[in-house]
Chain A
Amino acid sequence: MTTTTSKFKNIECDPDLCIGCQICEYVCSYTKTGEYNTYRSRIRTVRVDEVLITAMACRTCDNAPCVTACPQDALSQDPATGIIHINAQKCDACAWCVEACDFGAISINPESRLAEICDQCEDQEDGPQCVLWCPKEALKLTTPEQEAQKARREALKSIKNEVLPKIPLKETTC
């Protein structure tokens, strides 16, 4: 089964830019709970050696395995945005969704006994708060396809200086 998609937006982190400051986690937990507690953040920074650092949140997979895994049908995926919604009446905190996620993007809140996952701050006027705060602009709300497009353009731009002097430039309107 395909578990990734280029269809939906998700919070992407550029590991080259991420400095591991965790400010995204403070802001996320505050936005969602009114307290600063990285344990309650829906985005998590990960550091597996001294310099390998990134932040991870829900990747809005196609055919999301967390939705499939839920025995209570408590999880559903918004067909327009790909955001995973959790039905508080149905969720019994069994944590199968937590185990099903390849990116470790879901956790269970020990107090509310509910699964928690990034919802891209869909209720916030100015969008995802982590993106807004990230000091290094390492975080973006984007799709893999948009990132690929950007990579292609960057790759071409990087050889611009070598190519341009050799091509007679013509006035163009397109």
Chain B
Amino acid sequence: MFGYSGKVLHIDLTERKTWVEEKTEDWYKLWIGGVSMASRLCWENIKPGCDAYSPDNPVCIANGVFAGTPVPVGGKYGLASKSPMTGFIGDSLSGSWFSIALKRAGWDAVVIHGASESWVNVFIDDQRVEFRDATKLLGLGTFETEEAIREALADDQVRSATIGPAGEKMVRYANVTNDGRQAGRTGHGSVWGSKKLKAVSVRGTHGIQVADPKTLNELSFNITKEAQGPHTSKYRILGTSTNVLNLNKLGLLPTRNYQEGVFEGVETISGEFLHEHNKVKTIACAQCPIACEQMSMVKAGPWTGAMTGIEYECLFANSSNLGIDDINTAIKLIHIADSSGMDAMSMGITISWAMETFEKGIFKKEDFKCEKFPEGFELTFGNSEAAVATAEMIRDREGIGKLLGEGTRIASLTIDEQRSSETYKWAMHSKGLEPAGYEARGLKTFSLGSAVGTRGPCHNRTAAYDPDIQGEVDRFSVDEKRGMLAKDTEEYAAVYDTLPLCKFIRRCFTGKADRAGAWPTIVKLINATTGWDLKYEDIDPIGERAHTIKKAFNIREGWKRSDDTLPYRWMHDPMTKGPSAGHFTSEEELEYMKDTYYEAKGWTKEGLIPKSKLIELGMPDVAEQIGV
């Protein structure tokens, strides 16, 4: 078998033992890698109904089929566990060296079971596994942890996925970082924290062989060169932060906790402004010829020297969404999140909820007492110092930071119970996860995509904003086409997330990103790597299967139709300003679109999956358990 070793490494932290599971070629043909394989391993290895923080919730790491080869942007891995944010599948992707080291160590996937009694750094040294004491790593930031491990092992080729102090303290939306990149969403860091798993380190020294290196090199070379042209200029030059101005123009830039979609201070938080004033260098994930990460630094004021990579989603959440027009504050906030290992999106949106709660008089100054501000502070929109102090309290789980570290859903439920308030009306989450930086009230197809997302509302797992923004449909109204569009865009995304390939390469195959433009090259890349004989028509089922196993996981965890919903605000409060003013998604509209979506998917009206559908997709064992 080319492209795979055929082996999954199982590690039990409780018993400190390991075993190897061999998988068949047919299994790989179904699950491929990335989020698909990680989610399938989660299905196979979790105890259904367990708490996300229990030892029964496994950490499933699945490598990419192209990791370690020259296929551009193929150096990625998928990470899945039950999410402590949503209680459903938590699947994330991260790029760079970690996946490649794992590939060269000879493992297609790693499943980590149980929980350790003391802090541990699992070291996968080719075929050997060592449980290293991690006590000395505690409190170190994400990048420092990686460096400390390399130093201790005296090998700069050791790659680690780590948690930072936020994960150690189980901030619910803590994440996992490797090589400066994050498996960012759904709270993997707190799951690792619950297992006292500080880091997984890998040294892989073996070479990687593919079935047809000549073809693979030729295709890769051409894509690499194509990736220097206009199809990626958005990502290379300004990065995704270029969205700030574009979305503001459409009235879709979340502002002051998603109250509005236009921000008056947009000029000084734009990608263009960042590029001119704060950018230090552009860097890439391993195996990526694009390089989108805009390393940016605070160059003046109290936070001078704070530096991290800035991209749109983290930026909106920590600027316009907080009413903050100071780019330095945004960089500082994202730096706090990145260095301590937490999801900057969930953090920013939880802070914006707290700001609105303060401005509506439910939070008081004294709620924000901390060591630095013994009298507390006023957490108003636009207050940079207060926002940074709050982020630090979340990171340290100090005072109110403990509650805010639980995310918007738990924080609002708790406050509403304690103070008889109605903060749920501006708690921006669905299924417990904070949404992406696209105002879905002005994007009806995307509002459907967000509501039905298996890991919550997400811009990466669905591209349903595309037909809205491109004008393929009227973005302010609903019709019977939306279900099929939501299905098409989420399954398209699932193909990339499964291989995985970074979606930024999608126009570099032929200039066209649609299925007809991308799939023929993707088929050739898979076949040249694995020696398989896949056809064009085999690609779509890869995405559908990947999406379906996640949905099946959720159904087994108790998902019901009413879980596919939107934040209260998106369903009740029309925006008052800008080109998307007056719009929201009513319950009637959403339920209608859900009907069209379940129908397009071939599911029942209640959103359950027929046995026949699961068997058709090659998962009779899943059909047995949850099929109807």
Using a CB–CB distance below 8 Å, which chain A residues touch chain B?
A: 16, 19-23, 26-27, 29-30, 33-40, 46, 50-51, 53, 133, 135-136
B401 lies within 8 A of chain A by Cβ? no
Which of B69, B284, B289, B290 is in CB contact (< 8 Å) with A36? B69
> Is B207's CB under 8 angstroms from A40's CB?
yes
> Is B283's CB under 8 angstroms from A30's CB?
no
Which of B217, B224, B283, B288 is in CB contact (< 8 Å) with A53? B283
- Nearest Cβ distance between residue A103 and chain B, in whole angstroms? 15
Given contacts A26-B70, A36-B207, contact A133 B287 (CB under 8 A): no
Given contacts A20-B283, A21-B289, contact A50 B221 (CB under 8 A): no
Which of A22, A37, A50, A53 is in CB contact (< 8 Å) with B207? A37
> Is A35's CB under 8 angstroms from B208's CB?
yes
Which of B224, B280, B295 is in CB contact (< 8 Å) with A23? B224
Closest 5 CB pairs of A and B: A35-B207, A135-B289, A37-B207, A19-B284, A19-B291
> Is B157's CB under 8 angstroms from A22's CB?
no
In the complex, which residue of chain A has the Cβ closest to the Cβ of B338?
A: A50
Which of B217, B286, B291 is in CB contact (< 8 Å) with A136? B291
- Nearest Cβ distance between residue B539 and chain A, in whole angstroms? 24
- Could you tell me the distance between the alpha carbons of A26 and B209 in the complex, rounded to whole angstroms? 12
B205 lies within 8 A of chain A by Cβ? yes
> Is A20's CB under 8 angstroms from B207's CB?
no
A37 partner residues in chain B, CB cutoff 8 A: 104, 205-208
- Could you tell me the distance between the alpha carbons of A29 and B70 in the complex, rounded to whole angstroms? 11
Contacts beyond the supplied A26-B69, A30-B70, A136-B291: 16 A-B pairs with Cβ under 8 Å: A19-B291, A20-B284, A20-B286, A21-B284, A22-B286, A26-B70, A26-B287, A33-B207, A38-B104, A39-B157, A39-B207, A46-B156, A50-B307, A51-B283, A135-B225, A135-B291
> Is B221's CB under 8 angstroms from A133's CB?
yes
- Nearest Cβ distance between residue A100 and chain B, in whole angstroms? 20
Residue from the set B281, B282, B307 with the largest chain A CB neighbour count within 10 Å: B281
Given contacts A26-B69, A30-B217, contact A50 B295 (CB under 8 A): yes
Which of A26, A36, A39 is in CB contact (< 8 Å) with B205? A39
> Is B208's CB under 8 angstroms from A21's CB?
no
> Is A135's CB under 8 angstroms from B228's CB?
yes
B100 partner residues in chain A, CB cutoff 8 A: 22, 38
- Nearest Cβ distance between residue B274 and chain A, in whole angstroms? 15
> Is A36's CB under 8 angstroms from B283's CB?
no
> Is A21's CB under 8 angstroms from B285's CB?
yes
> Is B207's CB under 8 angstroms from A23's CB?
no
B176 lies within 8 A of chain A by Cβ? no
Residue from the set A27, A29, A34, A38 with the largest chain B CB neighbour count within 10 Å: A38
- Nearest Cβ distance between residue B256 and chain A, in whole angstroms? 32
> Is A29's CB under 8 angstroms from B207's CB?
yes
- Could you tell me the distance between the alpha carbons of A136 and B70 in the complex, rounded to whole angstroms? 15
B69 partner residues in chain A, CB cutoff 8 A: 26, 36
- Nearest Cβ distance between residue B76 and chain A, in whole angstroms? 13
In the complex, which residue of chain A has the Cβ closest to the Cβ of B97?
A: A22
In the complex, which residue of chain A has the Cβ closest to the Cβ of B224?
A: A135
In the complex, which residue of chain B has the Cβ closest to the Cβ of A39?
A: B205
8 Å CB contacts to A: which residues of B28-66? none
> Is A21's CB under 8 angstroms from B287's CB?
yes
> Is B281's CB under 8 angstroms from A23's CB?
no
A27 partner residues in chain B, CB cutoff 8 A: 70, 217
- Could you tell me the distance between the alpha carbons of A40 and B210 in the complex, rounded to whole angstroms? 16
A51 partner residues in chain B, CB cutoff 8 A: 280-281, 283, 295, 307
B348 partner residues in chain A, CB cutoff 8 A: none
> Is B70's CB under 8 angstroms from A38's CB?
no
A46 partner residues in chain B, CB cutoff 8 A: 156
- Nearest Cβ distance between residue A35 and chain B, in whole angstroms? 3
B284 partner residues in chain A, CB cutoff 8 A: 19-21
A29 partner residues in chain B, CB cutoff 8 A: 207
Given contacts A30-B213, A51-B307, contact A23 B206 (CB under 8 A): no
In the complex, which residue of chain B has the Cβ closest to the Cβ of A111?
A: B207
- Could you tell me the distance between the alpha carbons of A40 and B295 in the complex, rounded to whole angstroms? 30
B316 lies within 8 A of chain A by Cβ? no
- Could you tell me the distance between the alpha carbons of A27 and B180 in the complex, rounded to whole angstroms? 24
> Is A23's CB under 8 angstroms from B213's CB?
no
- Could you tell me the distance between the alpha carbons of A26 and B207 in the complex, rounded to whole angstroms? 10
- Could you tell me the distance between the alpha carbons of A40 and B284 in the complex, rounded to whole angstroms? 22
B68 lies within 8 A of chain A by Cβ? yes
Which of B157, B225, B288, B289 is in CB contact (< 8 Å) with A38? B157
8 Å CB contacts to A: which residues of B270-306? 280-291, 295
> Is A36's CB under 8 angstroms from B70's CB?
yes
In the complex, which residue of chain A has the Cβ closest to the Cβ of B209?
A: A35
In the complex, which residue of chain B has the Cβ closest to the Cβ of A21?
A: B284
A22 partner residues in chain B, CB cutoff 8 A: 97, 100, 286-287
B228 partner residues in chain A, CB cutoff 8 A: 135-136
B438 partner residues in chain A, CB cutoff 8 A: none
B509 lies within 8 A of chain A by Cβ? no
- Nearest Cβ distance between residue B94 and chain A, in whole angstroms? 16
Given contacts A21-B291, A30-B217, A135-B228, contact A36 B285 (CB under 8 A): no
8 Å CB contacts to A: which residues of B305-337? 307-308
B307 partner residues in chain A, CB cutoff 8 A: 50-51
B598 lies within 8 A of chain A by Cβ? no
- Could you tell me the distance between the alpha carbons of A40 and B97 in the complex, rounded to whole angstroms? 16
Which of B180, B208, B210, B217 is in CB contact (< 8 Å) with A50? B180
A33 partner residues in chain B, CB cutoff 8 A: 207
In the complex, which residue of chain B has the Cβ closest to the Cβ of A27?
A: B70
User: How does the 8 Å CB contact mask read for B187-231 relative to A, with 1 for contact and 0 for none?
Assistant: 000000000000000000111111001000100010011011000
B143 lies within 8 A of chain A by Cβ? yes
- Nearest Cβ distance between residue A102 and chain B, in whole angstroms? 17
- Could you tell me the distance between the alpha carbons of A33 and B307 in the complex, rounded to whole angstroms? 39
> Is A133's CB under 8 angstroms from B283's CB?
no
> Is B70's CB under 8 angstroms from A23's CB?
yes
> Is A36's CB under 8 angstroms from B208's CB?
yes
- Could you tell me the distance between the alpha carbons of A135 and B229 in the complex, rounded to whole angstroms? 11
- Could you tell me the distance between the alpha carbons of A155 and B69 in the complex, rounded to whole angstroms? 39
- Could you tell me the distance between the alpha carbons of A23 and B227 in the complex, rounded to whole angstroms? 13
- Could you tell me the distance between the alpha carbons of A114 and B69 in the complex, rounded to whole angstroms? 25
8 Å CB contacts to A: which residues of B88-106? 97, 100, 104
- Could you tell me the distance between the alpha carbons of A35 and B207 in the complex, rounded to whole angstroms? 5
In the complex, which residue of chain B has the Cβ closest to the Cβ of A29?
A: B207
Given contacts A26-B69, A36-B68, A37-B207, contact A19 B282 (CB under 8 A): yes
B221 partner residues in chain A, CB cutoff 8 A: 133
- Could you tell me the distance between the alpha carbons of A29 and B213 in the complex, rounded to whole angstroms? 12
26 A-B pairs in the complex with CB atoms less than 8 angstroms apart? A19-B291, A20-B284, A21-B285, A22-B287, A27-B70, A30-B70, A30-B213, A35-B207, A35-B208, A36-B70, A36-B207, A36-B208, A36-B209, A37-B104, A37-B206, A38-B100, A39-B207, A46-B156, A51-B281, A51-B295, A53-B281, A53-B283, A133-B224, A135-B225, A135-B228, A135-B289
- Could you tell me the distance between the alpha carbons of A19 and B72 in the complex, rounded to whole angstroms? 14
- Could you tell me the distance between the alpha carbons of A33 and B284 in the complex, rounded to whole angstroms? 25
- Nearest Cβ distance between residue A5 and chain B, in whole angstroms? 28
- Nearest Cβ distance between residue A40 and chain B, in whole angstroms? 7
In the complex, which residue of chain A has the Cβ closest to the Cβ of B207?
A: A35
